[in-house]
Amino acid sequence: MDVHRRHLLHFSAAGLAAGAVAVSADLARAAPLTSTLGRDITHYGVRPNSPDDQTRALQRAIDDAARTQTSLALPPGNYRTGLLKLSSGTQLVGVRGATTLIFSGGASLLSGEGADHIGLSGLTLDGGTIKLPTRRGLIHCLQGRDLRITDCTITGSGNNGIWLENAAGAISGNTLSNIASTAIVSFDAQGLVVSQNTISGTRSNGIEILRTAIGDDGTQVIDNRIEDIKAGPGGSGQYGNAINAFRAGNVIVSGNRIRDCDYSAVRGNSASNIHITGNSVSNVREVALYSEFAFEAAVIANNTVDGAAVGVSVCNFNEGGRIAVVQGNIIRNLLPKRPIGTVPDDDAGVGIYIEADVAVTGNVIENAPSFGIIAGWGRYLRDVAITGNVVRNTFIGIGVSVMPGAGTALVSNNMISGTPRGAVVGLDHARPVTPDLTAEGAQRYQQVAMSGNVVR
């Protein structure tokens, strides 16, 4: 074969390139954690897997790295420590699943107050079920901006997992389990995203978005997996919820997978303009999706609920609760009873319950022991439209309050089948007081406008 010089040059260059890639890959594999992640914590006398408490050495390393605005690398191993204080610019980086801080006691494990630009990633925080003070978390951050907690594991907290006040930033990709109270608590957020976390085994709530007074919050709770949430302290709905928004306006709860909760999947209490959309819910034992008390405006749309005492409830018109769209939800396999601790005469086995200024459209409800849809509670009914829904295999299809003082309900173009007590029935609170209003010759009520319903 005739080998030309340019061929030799080509092959030589290719060989050098391949060799360079191989050497580069070998160097990358051999490079210590600190070459890419920042300062090596062992330079400060911290020893991985030491049986000794290393709080002082760890704190000295954290302070020095924050002062010089460099990240602090924690190699694989266990580190026994008490409270560590985080200042602005602290960046702690571990090896995911291999770097563990084991809590030896104190108010929290990691705490920052007035500290901005904190970053925590790749750490496992083991609280050892050591009890924490009230209103504390294993991670505890107050008045911080641009907070980032990512790819961390938090387990065995003796109170809350993460506690935030007046914080802004992102809590994403973390795993929180075996938490004595709530996994993630935020008070008075200033711009927060809680996303793609996995939460299981808590004894109060999964995620709480709270404000000290009613106001705008805007936290986004999206694409989390939440399960096994217990109402450990008891109560009638304060605990046992996967996601709880209280007094927090403009909160978005979307795309979450929620299962096995003692009470609600999503509970908005005095939370105006809440969006509850695209969530997958199963095996919750009270109201699955709740907007209650002093709120104005809720969008509850495109969710699936399989197993709950009540699928959707938009209520408390007596407290100012009003305005909602309940649209495109699939709700099925409702339970006949609520949990112990709730008000004994509260209904169960209901697909959708509404009271004031609400449009209910395009929902599919199946297998409800009591009602597919209820509109109104005594005189607490105003301006509701129930249109274009499919209601199947429910004792009563749609119940509407016909009590004196009740407002107007429009019931039209619904498909209703398999309702032995009646397709549309007038109610005195939860008690049926009329025959089926869709039957020929049935009494008409001025405040109930009906047309175009298909009954089988």
Along the 456 residues of the chain, how does pLDDT read in single tens digits? 343 433 433 433 444 334 433 333 333 333 344 434 567 788 899 999 999 999 999 999 999 999 999 999 999 999 999 999 999 999 999 999 999 999 999 999 999 999 999 999 999 999 999 999 999 999 999 999 999 999 999 999 999 999 999 999 999 999 999 999 999 999 999 999 999 999 999 999 999 999 999 999 999 999 999 999 999 999 888 999 999 999 999 999 999 999 999 999 999 999 999 999 999 999 999 999 999 999 999 999 999 999 999 999 999 999 999 999 999 999 999 999 887 776 666 789 999 999 999 999 999 999 999 999 999 999 999 999 999 999 999 999 999 999 999 999 999 999 999 999 999 999 999 999 999 999 999 999 999 999 999 999
For residue 38, the model assigns a pLDDT of 66
Both ends of the chain: CA-CA distance in Å?
Answer: 86
Q: Cα separations (Å) of 314 from 271, 293, 298, 400?
A: 12, 9, 8, 15
For residue 344, the model assigns a pLDDT of 60
Per-residue HEC secondary structure of the chain comes to CCCCHHHHHHHHHHHHHHHHHHHHHHHHHHCCCHHHHCEEHHHHCCCCCCCCECHHHHHHHHHHHHHCCCCEEECCEEEEECCEEECCCCEEEECCCCEEEEECCCCCCEEEECCCCCEEECCEEECCCCECCCCCEEEEEECCCCEEEECCEEECCECEEEEEECCCEEEECCEEEEECCCCEEEECCCCEEEECCEEEEECCEEEEEEEEEEEECCCEEECCEEEEECCCCCCCCCCCEEEEEEEEECCEEECCEEEEECCCCEEEECCCCEEEECCEEEEECCEEEEEECCCEEEEEECCEEEEECEEEEECCHHHCCEEEEEECCEEEEECCCCCECECCCCCCCEEEEECEEEEEECCEEEEEEEEEEEECECCECEEEEEECCEEEEEEEEEEEECCCCCCCEEEECCEEECCCCEEEEEEECCEEEEEECCCCCCCCCCCEEEECCEEC
Residue bearing tokens 């090596």: 40
Distance CA 224, CA 226 (A): 6
Domains and CATH numbers, the chain: 117-455 (2.160.20)
Residue bearing tokens 């299809």: 397
For residue 23, the model assigns a pLDDT of 34
Pair 24, 35: CB distance under 8 Å:
no
